[in-house]
Chain A
Amino acid sequence: MSEPEKDHGGEGDPNRRDFIYIAAGAAAVGAVGAVVVPLVAQMNPAADTLAMASTEFDLSKVSEGMQVVIKWRGKPLFIRYRTPKEIAAAQEVKLSDLKDPQADSDRVTAGKEQYLILVGSCTHLGCVPTFGEGQFGGWFCPCHGSHYDTSGRIRVGPAPTNLEVPTYEYLTDTRVKIG
C-alpha cells in the first residue's frame, strides 16, 4: 500500500484527476439512492395487505330499507338497499343545488338503483357518518355536522365532496366484488 508510485502516464493530468473524483462521488450518490429505495418502499402495503384489498359481498343479505356495514380496507363500507321513496328523492334533486354536482345515476349501477354502495368515511376528516339523521334523509356526520342525502351526496356542512363510491362490479345478480 505504502510504496511511493512513479508517475503513470496521465495521472498528473488535472482533467483525468477530476474525472476520477467526480466518478467516485457519483457512484457514492448512486449507492445511497439505491439503498434509500427499499428503506422507503417497505412502508407501502405489504403483499398480504394488498391481497385483502378486494372483497366479495352477497347483496341478498340486505333487505329493503336496511344498511349493512362491512369492513373493507380497514374502513366501513355502507351497503344500502334504498326504498323507492329514497331513490325518488335522490333523483329529484337539481344538480345546481349540489355542492359537488353528480347525478344519482352516476352513483349506482343502472337497473340496480336500489343498491347504494359507499365508503363510510366522511370526506371532511374521515369520521363515520350515521344514517337516519340530518336534514336530507341520508347520512349525518357527528364530528363536524356534514349532511349527506339519500345518494350520499354532500348537501350542508364542511365536507368538500360526496361520499366516495368504491369501484365494484356485479359478479352475479346478487354478488358484488368491491375493489
Chain B
Amino acid sequence: MSAFMTKSLKKVLGAVAVAAALAGASGAYAAGGAEHPKHVDFTFKGPFGTFDQGQLQRGYKVYKEVCANCHSATLMSFRNLGQKGGPFYDPKYKNPNDNPVVKAIAAEFEVPDIDTDTGEDITRPATPSDNFPEKYPNTYAAAAGNGGAIPPDLSVITKARHGGAEYIYSLLTGYVTPPKGLNVAPGQYYNPYMAGSLATQWDGDPHHVPVGGVLAMAPPLNQGAVTYDDGTPETVDNYAKDVSAFLQWAGDPHTTLRKKTGVAVLIYLFLFGGLTYAAYRQLWHGKH
C-alpha cells in the first residue's frame, strides 16, 4: 500500500512539475481580442536558424523606403548594418565603420550636429558610428504629423509585440475591409491582427464583436513600390516578409551568435554532466 502511494505520489508530482514548466514557458497571458499571427517559415526560426542576408538587405530597403517615412529606429546605428550577421556584412571589412556600403548608406541620412565654429545647430551626412536619426523632433510633432498617433520606434518592435516577426508580417498583410456594422473613423484602418477592443464601435450582435482593432497606419505596402535588385518578385507578401525579417534581426542583432554559443554550451554541459554522473556513480558505489 505504502509502495503504491509513494509511486503514485511521485507520478502526481512529476505531472505537476511538467505542468508548471509548461505554464511558465508558455507565458500564460491572454492575447486580447486579435487574430493569431499567421505562420511564416522564416529562416531564422528554431535553434539552428540563421538570417538570410539577401532577405535582410531587401528588408532594409523596404524599411528605408517605406517604414522610415514615419517610424524611427533610434537604437540602431549604421555600423550595425555592417557588423557580423548584419545585412551588409562583408568579411573584407571586419570593422563595420570602414565598410564602404555602410558608409554610403549612412551618408544618405542627415543627422543633427553643432557647428563647432559658430555653435549653431546644423545637419551633416551621417557616418557609420551615428544612430538612425529621430524622425520627429519630439513626440508632439510625431503625433501631430500622424493624426494623433505616435508611430512607434521600430528598433525592438519584434521583441515588443507578441508573435514577433510573424505578428509584423500578419499586420502588414492583414488589412481587410471592415465588417458591416463596424464604425471606423476617418484616418483609422481596421486590421484583425491588431490587438484591441472594438465593442464600442460595433453596431451588430454584441456577442459577436469582430476580433482585431483599428490603427492609424494605412496599409503601407503596395505592389512594386520598392524595387528589388536581386530578382525577387516585388509583391506585398515579399515586402512584408523581408521587412519583418529585417526588424527581427534589428531587434536582437546577436541572435545567430547567441544560438551558436548556446549549442556549444549545451554540448559542453552534456559532456560535463556525463563525466560528473560517472564520477558520482563510482563514488557512491555501495554507499546508498
A–B direct touch in complex (beta carbons closer than 8 A): yes
Given A24-B272, A27-B275, 7 other A-B contacts at CB below 8 A? A3-B288, A11-B282, A24-B275, A31-B272, A47-B79, A48-B77, A51-B97
Interface majority SS on B: helix, strand, loop or mixed?
helix
Q: Is the CB of B278 within 8 A of A24?
A: yes
Closest Cβ neighbor of B286 among chain A residues: A4
A20 to B281, CA, bound (A): 11
Tell me if B108 counts as interface (CB < 8 A to partner A): no
Residues of A near B129 (CB, < 8 A) are 48, 51-52
Closest Cβ neighbor of A31 among chain B residues: B272
Tell me if B83 counts as interface (CB < 8 A to partner A): yes
A58 to B146, CA, bound (A): 40
Within 8 A of B (CB), among A66-89: 70
Assuming the contacts A1-B288, A24-B272, asked whether A51 and B279 have C-beta atoms less than 8 A apart, the reply is no
28 contacts between A and B (CB under 8 A): A2-B288, A3-B288, A4-B286, A5-B281, A11-B282, A11-B285, A17-B282, A20-B279, A21-B282, A23-B275, A24-B272, A24-B275, A24-B278, A24-B279, A27-B268, A27-B276, A30-B272, A31-B268, A31-B272, A34-B268, A48-B129, A51-B79, A51-B128, A51-B129, A52-B129, A54-B97, A61-B116, A70-B116
Residues of B near A54 (CB, < 8 A) are 97
Tell me if B117 counts as interface (CB < 8 A to partner A): yes
- B219 CB to nearest chain A CB (Å): 36
Within 8 A of A (CB), among B41-99: 77, 79, 83, 96-97
Tell me if B271 counts as interface (CB < 8 A to partner A): yes
Assuming the contacts A51-B79, A51-B128, asked whether A24 and B276 have C-beta atoms less than 8 A apart, the reply is yes
Fill in one digit per residue for A1-39: 1 if any B CB lies within 8 Å of its CB, else 0.
Answer: 111110000010000010011011001101100100000
Q: How large is the interface on A (under 10, 10 to 19, 20 to 34, 35 or more residues)?
A: 20 to 34
- B52 CB to nearest chain A CB (Å): 23
A51 to B97, CA, bound (A): 7
- A13 CB to nearest chain B CB (Å): 11
A147 to B97, CA, bound (A): 38
Q: Is the CB of B272 within 8 A of A27?
A: yes
Assuming the contacts A20-B279, A24-B272, A24-B276, asked whether A47 and B83 have C-beta atoms less than 8 A apart, the reply is yes
- B14 CB to nearest chain A CB (Å): 15
Residues of A near B268 (CB, < 8 A) are 27, 30-31, 34
A5 to B281, CA, bound (A): 9
- B1 CB to nearest chain A CB (Å): 21
A19 to B50, CA, bound (A): 39
A1 to B10, CA, bound (A): 14
Q: Is the CB of A21 within 8 A of B279?
A: yes
